[in-house]
Structure 1
């Protein structure tokens, strides 16, 4: 009887050891086996509220792993089961189970991008946001001032010019409002810092006035390096009580009536944005200014009396003048060069 008991005990111990060895062996193989990542299953989403057991089953359902129990066990053994974060992940071929688990724990979710370009209007920006497939649309029926209220701006503030031009990365399902909030805060922050470092000017009394002028400089500048001198032209005009007389403001005031051409009658038609008929700055910015345009307004070109400028060639550098006579001569040369360029086109 004792012999039989010993034999049974030995068999049990052997069986337990064998099962334990096989389990250990399977676990080791699992850890050393890359996930079966293909183009079809490389995008993996952990939905909010998912637990590690659900994630393991999802990995198995997508044929990324063979044994969901082993992934579940590994997460438990490494004490990471409760640390996974919801989001969309890009899995790469060759990734091992522990690397995938680390990715889920780190929250390194897939990022998408959208660029806000300098010189664009708020309507342009909103159109790009609405076309982006990975932004959640919540603002389709809301006007600009209502959007600004949701962003915490003062009542009645126009959205024009308030969104910092940059390339923004974000996870899928980021809301359009959250996207705009980042850009709005970035512009607020940069504008305030630039204002604190500015060279004071009697006719630019607030950061908002600087933003307005920066938007005009942005739209009037052919070459980036000319921005400080363009800013000086407009500041000199403000000092002398001259009209700014800048075409981009007229175009902005025309709205949808603008067909790509600006005519003499357009320059004579009064709108709040027509700087040929109204003195001073426009009521709001006319576009999103770049960092460089804001800097140019805060630090314009030094010791210059220039009051006029015109491109020397279409799309080329500008000629800056202190007198109307010199400016008119530069305009005549510009027209001559433009006509020559048209004649040379095939």
Structure 2
């Protein structure tokens, strides 16, 4: 009987030792770094089970072939609650950290940047070229965007989306990103319109955004935006034409070749403010907050003219004679720069 007890005790010891070794091996496997040497995107399809996950990770050389993958998931069942998605794996990440990431559902985020002063056509090109976006727009045209977002016929498209950097996960649709940008612009514009200066010469919020888009295209210098706005407001109030080149360029569309000619300035388009009186029918770009603020709160000045000063800014003047001198100074600065 004593021999049987010894054998049983020995067997239990062996089993305990085997379990301890197995537990240690599982822990070692969980703490082992991934095989990747650089940042890697891993896509986990919906419906993937434990066996398929292990096979996928091994086939892509993310984890080593091991006997301990399944035991790890049994010992730590929270790691087995992985969710479908696209995940960003980094060198040095351990097997446990990988499984924790897959269980967290924190998918990789990708940025897309829309810059102030760009047009809707440029946004649609950027969306078309961005990685991991699901393209649902049938064509890159304003009409397709309006239909996809279910916008009314008179909705702002040009000038109707908030310029910013947007983060998205893989398989996010182009329309979903545009919907976020449109909602943000609506909220910003509504706030600016509500708090605008009284007695501005705008019939409606569309005209304020149109003015903001012109300011956005005329200067990138924040301190100048209020002055630029004052010039155009003064011109509107006195009945002078705005005569701003960016509106001409917008009206020319694909016919613009990089430099305006006299015939371009004389060509009749709905946006040519050398030909039409008042503001053009709509925005010419996506304005940012600073330009919206300037349109809603222009400085009170007597300026009627401005021209580039050759140093990145502009010279503002109140009469044509002073403006002509400023134009001559700008031309001289450009000539000297070209001769260097």
When normalised by structure 2's length, the TM-score is 0.89
Find the partner of 1:277 among 264, 275, 278: 275
Partner of residue 338, structure 1: 334
**Cα shift at 1:189:** 2.2
- Would the aligned equivalents of 1:46 and 1:86 in 2 still touch at CA under 8 Å? yes
Partner of residue 167, structure 2: 169
Q: Map 1:285-324; keep pairs closer than 5 Å.
A: 285-301=283-299, 303-313=300-310, 316-324=312-320
Moved more, 251-260 or 221-230: 221-230
Find the partner of 1:51 among 49, 52, 72: 49
Q: Map 1:45-194; keep pairs closer than 5 Å.
A: 45-66=43-64, 70-81=68-79, 83-194=81-192
**Cα shift at 1:234:** 0.9
- Distance in structure 2 (CA, Å) of the matches to 1:23 and 1:127: 55
Partner of residue 30, structure 2: 31
- Distance in structure 2 (CA, Å) of the matches to 1:280 and 1:91: 55
- Would the aligned equivalents of 1:250 and 1:267 in 2 still touch at CA under 8 Å? yes
**Cα shift at 1:140:** 4.7
- Would the aligned equivalents of 1:228 and 1:300 in 2 still touch at CA under 8 Å? yes
**Cα shift at 1:147:** 0.7
- Distance in structure 1 (CA, Å) of the matches to 2:74 and 2:190: 49
**Cα shift at 1:254:** 0.9
* CA shift in 2, pair 1:80/1:200, >3 Å: farther
- Would the aligned equivalents of 1:71 and 1:97 in 2 still touch at CA under 8 Å? no
**Cα shift at 1:43:** 2.8
- Distance in structure 1 (CA, Å) of the matches to 2:202 and 2:47: 52
User: Structure 2: where are the runs of 5+ without partners?
Assistant: none
When normalised by structure 1's length, the TM-score is 0.88
SS in 2 for 1:80: helix
* CA shift in 2, pair 1:69/1:164, >3 Å: farther
- How far does the alpha carbon of each residue in 1:134-191 deviate from its partner, in whole angstroms, 9 at most, with x for none? 3222225252122123223222535211222222222233222222222222222222
Partner of residue 214, structure 2: 216
User: Structure 1: where are the runs of 5+ without partners?
Assistant: none
Moved more, 165-174 or 282-291: 165-174
* CA shift in 2, pair 1:312/1:93, >3 Å: closer
SS in 1 for 2:86: strand
- Distance in structure 2 (CA, Å) of the matches to 1:142 and 1:93: 38
- Would the aligned equivalents of 1:244 and 1:275 in 2 still touch at CA under 8 Å? yes
SS in 2 for 1:90: strand
- Distance in structure 2 (CA, Å) of the matches to 1:92 and 1:198: 49
**Cα shift at 1:217:** 0.5
Find the partner of 2:262 among 251, 261, 264: 264
- Distance in structure 1 (CA, Å) of the matches to 2:74 and 2:209: 55
- Would the aligned equivalents of 2:219 and 2:313 in 1 still touch at CA under 8 Å? no
Moved more, 132-141 or 222-231: 132-141
* CA shift in 2, pair 1:156/1:72, >3 Å: farther
**Cα shift at 1:10:** 4.1
* CA shift in 2, pair 1:63/1:336, >3 Å: closer
- Distance in structure 1 (CA, Å) of the matches to 2:153 and 2:141: 13
* CA shift in 2, pair 1:69/1:186, >3 Å: farther
SS in 1 for 2:307: strand
- How far does the alpha carbon of each residue in 1:267-322 deviate from its partner, in whole angstroms, 9 at most, with x for none? 22211101112112111111111221111112222x31211111122x53211112
**Cα shift at 1:22:** 2.8
- Distance in structure 1 (CA, Å) of the matches to 2:157 and 2:259: 26
- Distance in structure 1 (CA, Å) of the matches to 2:161 and 2:237: 29
**Cα shift at 1:102:** 1.9
